[in-house]
Amino acid sequence: MSTNVANLLYLVTIVTFILALHYLSSPAHARRGNQIGAAGMLLAIIVTWVRIGTTSWWAIALGMLLGGGFGAVAARKVKMTAMPQMVALFNGVGGGAAALIALAELHRILPEPGAPKVDISLAIVLSALIGSISFAGSMVAFAKLQELIQGRPITYPGQQFVNAALFLGSLAAGLVLVAGVQQQWLLWALVGGSLLFGVLFVLPIGGADMPVVISLLNAFTGLAVAASGFELENNVLIVSGMLVGASGTLLTLLMGRAMNRSIANVLFGAFGQVTVDATAAAEGAGGGTVRSASADDVAVMLAYAHKVVFVPGYGLAVAQAQHDVRQLADLLEAKGVEVTYAIHPVAGRMPGHMNVLLAEANVPYPQLKEMDEANPEFSRTDVAVVVGANDVVNPDARSNQGSPIYGMPILNVDDSQTVVVLKRSMNPGFAGIDNPLFYNPKTVMLFGDAKESITRLIQDVKAL
């Protein structure tokens, strides 16, 4: 196959990827788009296979079988609640592959006499650097989400300095390589430094900020792949990598905006440490009283309401209560209650996390309301049921300038007649910030595991 024919076929692949993203504009045909993209990927693999010819075909086939087999099994078996870590994992391996390609290319061109072309070696260095950071960072994100290591920020004195030194050191090693100094140890310094930086850079970021981190790492892998495209002079890698880079960047910005925090603050602020301020705030608000209710009280409220809004948060995912919530909603709808779900953009551990969980529980997607759509509705809502959400409904974000989350747009559940908060205990939420919503006279608390509480509510509503 000539290079021109191959490049034209790669162009077809590029078009299928663009269509895949285009079809994601509506849930009605999004799945078709994904299939078109997969077909395009298959085409690119076949074209590459034919171009390579018979060299090492068995090694390539074996590698594909191993990796593809693992990917297929992992993707089929994973629970929807574990989706964020699965996305982090697949993101990481992509970045890792880009970094390895850079290593092999560098190894190949270094012994050649004369300095390599600057743009090629720059691309190699960038994809090694970004790919390694993405790989290591995604693995740490995976471990945090899988709760292999603690989700709370891990900090130590001088952390920012160490991180900055590591990053600049790796970059410097890379630039010296580009300048034509052909030393193997520079290569290892580059890779080792950026791997370590990836680990240390994600470690201090708390679980609640994971949506931002995952989007950012997604963008990194895209950029690393685009850089691989420059290395190998391959258009399909450049365009696809850059599409992903643009997507990840846009999502990162959207998540930052949804929290009203700069990306720098998310990445370097180690948000979610239990600080002295938070304790002071808790004492200040602690004067109010908390009303606790029994499941049958809440069941009566729900069954005789006109409109009920569920507000899911990460606690819903942890308790795996999405199916039970759906069942409760069905029962209420059968009694003539209007039920919707209000979804905060950063609820959960990745962008859009709650939507996927509720879709898994067969909630029709027109019932899932975004924040802008949901907020005006609360004033005509009888009962808002907060399931495992905390910071995204914290009124301090509107009114308390001293609060760490001040300025973050929230779901105004306190506009509704009654707020029911399902919560394990009175412990402050992830960020260690007290929530005045719990002391609001409109609010009743239903303590216990979210799944058990919902199951009790289902029984009590049935018994009415």
Partner 1 sequence: MSHGTLLVFEVTILVLAIFLGFEVISKVPTLLHTPLMSGTNAIHGIVIVGAMIVLGLPHKDTFTWVVGFTAVVLASANVVGGFVVTDRMLEMFKKREPPRPVDPSRNGNPE
The closest of 396, 418, 417 to 407, measured between CA atoms, is 396
Render the burial of 31-44: b for 16+ CB within 10 Å, e for the rest: eebeebbeebbebb
**Nearer Cβ to partner 1, position 4 or 427?**
4
- Catalytic residue from among 324, 391, 396, 460: 391
One-letter amino acid identity for 5? V
- What are the residues whose beta carbons fall under 8 Å from the beta carbon of 290, sequence distance 6 or more? 426, 438, 439, 443, 445
**For partner 1, which is the closer residue by CB, 237 or 337?**
237
Query: Which residue, 162 or 242, has its beta carbon nearer to partner 1?
Result: 242
C-beta of 168: minimal distance to partner 1 in Å? Answer: 25
Closer CB to partner 1, 90 or 268, in the complex? 90
Q: In angstroms, give the least distance from the CB of 37 to partner 1.
A: 6
Structure tokens at 343: 């979804």
Give the number of other Cβ atoms within 10 Å of residue 117's Cβ. Answer: 10
91 versus 403: smaller Cβ distance to partner 1: 91
Neighbours of 306 (CB within 10 A): 12
Instruction: Answer yes or no: are the C-beta atoms of 17 and 11 closer than 8 Å.
Output: no
Element (H, E) at 318: helix 314-319
Dist CA 305 CA 383 (whole Å): 7
Taking each helix axis from N to C end, the angle separating 83-109 and 118-145, rounded to the nearest 10 degrees, works out to 150
Beta carbon of residue 206, minimum distance to partner 1 (angstroms, whole number): 19
3-state secondary structure of 341: strand
Dist CA 149 CA 359 (whole Å)? 29
Q: Judge whether 391 counts as a catalytic residue.
A: yes
CA distance to 297, 307, 364, per residue, from 302 (Å): 9, 9, 20
Q: How far is the CB of 240 from partner 1 (least distance, A)?
A: 4
Instruction: Give the H/E segment covering residue 384.
Output: strand 383-387
Would you say 271 and 209 are in contact if contact means Cβ atoms under 8 Å apart? yes
CB of 74 to partner 1, least distance (A): 6
**Which CB, 77 or 287, lies closer to partner 1?**
77
CB 170 within 8 A of CB 189: yes
- Closest distance of CB 356 from partner 1, Å: 5
Q: How far is the CB of 157 from partner 1 (least distance, A)?
A: 34
Closest-CA residue to 170 (of 133, 136, 207, 206): 133
CB-nearer residue toward partner 1: 63 or 288: 63
- Catalytic center residues: 391
